[in-house]
Amino acid sequence: MTDNCIFCKIAAGEIPSATLYEDQDFRVILDVAPASKGHMLILPKQHYANICEMPEELTGKAFILAKKMAGKLETTLKCDGVNIVQNNHEAAGQTVFHFHIHLIPRYADDQVGLGWKMGKLTDADRDEIVKKITEE
């Protein structure tokens, strides 16, 4: 538990939340400002600021849980699709600095905006990135 972290308090049950699932490692809650009906957040009970700080085993469990909850969204809310979003650091849109995974149900013709303007992969970028990532 980290002092003054709202998601630590929610995950611990100290602040009430609309809980959809809970086990020893995670609490899954409804997002208070949903992008769509059923937008949920997977919160680990232990505090890690972002995915880089998360232990690998817990990260694996978090994404397995995301798969399960995505299936539940499809069967229960009958959504047409699900986006799984996970923001790390302010530049990526993270606003709460306690690791979390968003599950955003999608409905045909909804107005949810998660897009980006498509760029162009230049040969120089391709060569530089492949070299840096594969040779690290």
27 or 105: whose CB is closer to Zn ion?
27
Does 100 interact with Zn ion (rule: CB under 5 A)? no
Is 84 or 96 the residue whose CB approaches ligand AMP more closely?
96
Binding site residues, ligand AMP, CB under 6 A: 6, 17, 29, 31-33, 41, 87, 93-96
Residues in contact with Zn ion, counted by CB under 5 A, come to a total of 6
- According to DSSP, the β-strands at 101-106 and 40-44 are antiparallel
Q: Check if 100 is active-site.
A: yes
Residue 31 touches which of ligand AMP, Zn ion, none (Cβ within 5-8 Å per kind): ligand AMP
Q: Which of 63, 58, 75, 61 is nearest to 101 (CA)?
A: 63
Residue 76 touches which of ligand AMP, Zn ion, none (Cβ within 5-8 Å per kind)? none
The gap between the terminal CA atoms of the chain, to the nearest Å, is 33
Residue 30 sits in the site that holds Zn ion (CB under 5 A): no
In whole angstroms, how close is the CB of 42 to ligand AMP at the nearest point?
11
| DSSP per residue, 106-118 | E-TT---------
DSSP assignment, residue 96?
S
Q: Is 33 exposed, middle or buried (0-12, 13-18, 19+ CB in 10 A)?
A: exposed
Looking at the Cβ atoms of 32 and 114, the one nearer to ligand AMP is 32
- Neighbouring residues of 64: CB distance < 8 A, sequence distance ≥ 6: none
Residue 47 binding result from ligand AMP, Zn ion, none, given CB thresholds of 5 to 8 Å by partner type: Zn ion
Is 96 a binding residue for Zn ion by CB under 5 A? The answer is no
Answer for the pair 89, 50: CB distance below 8 angstroms, yes or no: yes
Q: What are the catalytic residues?
A: 100
